[in-house]
A and B are shown apart, each in its own frame.
Chain A
């Protein structure tokens, strides 16, 4: 689960991670109050959406930049008015962009130097890793590729936790000294505590900055959480912003379906994540384009199949449907009956190819054949994929 920058900054404050003072506004009427709560001087105006690349983004009305430096509060108010309610397109949003529903004003900081700091899971060692670099404010993938020696990693032993010597080593490698070193150490330690205690999946500060006054501040904040751990963090669940999620994906999660919208035109309905991914792949392999990832789970019920059909058909781009079920334990005939009922209920007009395999498959195929529905059967995944690609072309 992702959260907004302003929500992440509030968590930072709670855990003692210093950041510039900020205030939010969800309507133009709130601009004055928000700005009044900040010290006089230059202000950063920041569009709040769950996507990176905001600064270099462009609004659909042509206004450039979702993050702006403004020398005065008056200018900040004016720029905020252009962003709020407008749709921002960045490299991560796709062409449709995201509507900006919250503006975050922060005190603009004097920047002495920019750094990069992140904490995430290192899969290879199954341990948390702190990644830091003196190259802040840029794409970290580029730093990793071009100058890997400038990327420092600290692996944390989950049994002991982050050790003081590890923090010291990192701080010295980053070239901090004096008051800066002390402030940076405290920030890193507190950020790690936050990562660990909130079950975060990733915490990224890019850039982390030093100021001429010796402060070390988190200028930006990107935080996401482990979905599996949300059950023990109601305070994090409360931060979820449904405006940032695809309505079809929200519908799917209510029906315990795993659904991800894509931009193709062949919808898929599959049981099992691995099979669902490879169903998308095989559609592409034979020249088609998948409209979604949809895993109905290992033990799909008839109700889930019906819900899945409704979600799929809610996508106007869909021109055909590919149902691919390997019924290992469950009876294929039960699935076939579910498909027939779902199709009747939703009144399907699009081509439908069904590939059914596994337990009691002959009865399942007979049910489909005798249903009077205009569906096409596929024998193997490859056979079925070729059929749906042809029907949609």
Chain B
């Protein structure tokens, strides 16, 4: 198994006719992902064609979901319209909306998050690289790739990876794959201060997934999501966990690229989060190059074999 998505998951792409959405829809199709529908208002009835695949385009999410059975949407809609696109997924009662869009106003996300309370739809992101559940083919082909991550660096296996950052996720996944260690699912939750799914939400899913045997938790400065996850791990998670926090050298009060990566006080510095990780039994990677090795140390300490 895996979390959130499986190779059988049917996905639709909101913004499939934009340059960015189109490129990544193609890459997902190449990876073997079941991209079954596109949504671009005003282009319903047209098709998105790529190497023999003919993906129908709909005007609305609800039509696309009804006609194709898609349960997950990936959102490549520009920032001014992205909050609306997320709410359209909620209205269509999809299982999952993955918002890749960077630059959504914080107020829009505050309102979206409130509107999603009690809804069955889960949001991952925004400002995130997406989710990959690797497949069994060459270079993990045949998996489910939602978003913008490189699929080929993955390998099917038993390590769960959760991170805010895209390239740092790829770094961790690549290190694992290079060492012959596969992943169950890798999830990028995004770098914004208000997002749909937290580190803790993903950790709980990994903990409950029998196919995930170990976890890499990657965080950064700002907020307390990593601390919340670490404390829960200490109390509830028996699986080996390795962690890394980016931003030890970031000056206070400056946003480091991600809208949420800003030190606000003594509690959300890298040093403070690393101290909590250590206190909670998480094996801390000293540098990003050490993430896979840190997980191997954590696994060894718990007598878990990874491959």
Stretch at the interface among A34-42, A64-72, A120-128, A365-373: A120-128
A residues less than 8 Å from B108 (CB atoms):
229
Rounded to whole angstroms, the CA-CA distance of A121 and B221 in the bound complex is 16
B residues less than 8 Å from A282 (CB atoms):
287-289
Rounded to whole angstroms, the CA-CA distance of A357 and B171 in the bound complex is 9
Most buried by A among B106, B148, B244: B106
B61 within 8 A of A: no
B237 within 8 A of A: no
B residues less than 8 Å from A159 (CB atoms):
111, 114-115
Cβ A126 vs Cβ B110 within 8 A: yes
B80 within 8 A of A: yes
Cβ B288 vs Cβ A359 within 8 A: no
B residues less than 8 Å from A92 (CB atoms):
253
Cβ A232 vs Cβ B287 within 8 A: no
Cβ A231 vs Cβ B80 within 8 A: yes
B281 within 8 A of A: no
B residues less than 8 Å from A258 (CB atoms):
257
Cβ A329 vs Cβ B150 within 8 A: yes
Cβ B194 vs Cβ A272 within 8 A: no
Rounded to whole angstroms, the CA-CA distance of A225 and B222 in the bound complex is 17
Cβ A298 vs Cβ B289 within 8 A: no
Partner of B166, one of A124, A201, A262, A274: A274
A55 within 8 A of B: no
A residues less than 8 Å from B107 (CB atoms):
158, 196, 199, 226, 229
A149 within 8 A of B: no
A260 within 8 A of B: yes
A211 within 8 A of B: no
- Contact status of A278 and B286, CB under 8 A, knowing A123-B224, A128-B110: no
| Chain B: interface residue total (CB-CB under 8 A) | 66
Rounded to whole angstroms, the CA-CA distance of A273 and B165 in the bound complex is 7
B219-262, CB under 8 A of A: which get 1 and which 0? 01111110010000000000000001011111101111111110
Most buried by B among A126, A232, A258, A271: A126
A residues less than 8 Å from B257 (CB atoms):
258, 272-274, 276-277, 293, 295
Minimal beta-carbon separation of A233 from chain B (angstroms): 10
B residues less than 8 Å from A275 (CB atoms):
165, 167-168, 171, 246, 288
- In the complex, residue of chain B having the shortest beta-carbon distance to the beta carbon of A260: B254
A326 within 8 A of B: yes
Minimal beta-carbon separation of B134 from chain A (angstroms): 14
B residues less than 8 Å from A228 (CB atoms):
79, 103-106, 259
Cβ A274 vs Cβ B193 within 8 A: no
Rounded to whole angstroms, the CA-CA distance of A63 and B228 in the bound complex is 47
B109 within 8 A of A: yes
B218 within 8 A of A: yes
- Contact status of A157 and B248, CB under 8 A, knowing A274-B167, A274-B220, A293-B256: no
B38 within 8 A of A: no
B27 within 8 A of A: yes
A residues less than 8 Å from B106 (CB atoms):
121, 199, 201, 226, 228-229
Cβ A277 vs Cβ B256 within 8 A: yes
Minimal beta-carbon separation of B141 from chain A (angstroms): 15
Cβ A381 vs Cβ B288 within 8 A: yes
Cβ A273 vs Cβ B256 within 8 A: yes
Minimal beta-carbon separation of B139 from chain A (angstroms): 11
A residues less than 8 Å from B286 (CB atoms):
285
- Contact status of A382 and B113, CB under 8 A, knowing A226-B107, A228-B104, A284-B248: no
Partner of B287, one of A201, A226, A276, A281: A281
B163 within 8 A of A: yes
A280 within 8 A of B: yes
- In the complex, residue of chain A having the shortest beta-carbon distance to the beta carbon of B286: A285
Rounded to whole angstroms, the CA-CA distance of A124 and B223 in the bound complex is 7
B164 within 8 A of A: yes
Cβ B110 vs Cβ A199 within 8 A: no
Rounded to whole angstroms, the CA-CA distance of A284 and B258 in the bound complex is 21
B7 within 8 A of A: no
Cβ A382 vs Cβ B290 within 8 A: yes
Rounded to whole angstroms, the CA-CA distance of A228 and B222 in the bound complex is 17
Most buried by B among A274, A277, A357: A274
B residues less than 8 Å from A123 (CB atoms):
193-194, 222-225, 260
Cβ A290 vs Cβ B249 within 8 A: yes
Cβ B250 vs Cβ A278 within 8 A: no
A380 within 8 A of B: yes
- Contact status of A260 and B256, CB under 8 A, knowing A126-B113, A277-B261: yes
Q: List 12 A-B contacts (CB under 8 A).
A: A127-B114, A159-B115, A228-B103, A260-B256, A275-B171, A285-B287, A290-B249, A298-B167, A329-B150, A359-B150, A359-B152, A382-B289
Per CB-CB distance, the 8 closest pairs between chain A and chain B, nearest first, are A274-B165, A273-B257, A272-B167, A274-B168, A328-B150, A229-B105, A382-B289, A275-B167
Q: A-side interface residues toward B, CB under 8 Å?
A: 92, 121, 123-124, 126-128, 141, 157-159, 196, 199, 201, 226-229, 231-232, 258, 260, 262, 270-278, 280-285, 290, 293, 295, 298, 326, 328-329, 357-359, 380-383, 385
Given contacts A199-B107, A232-B80, A232-B105, 4 further A-B contacts (CB under 8 A): A126-B110, A141-B265, A274-B165, A382-B290
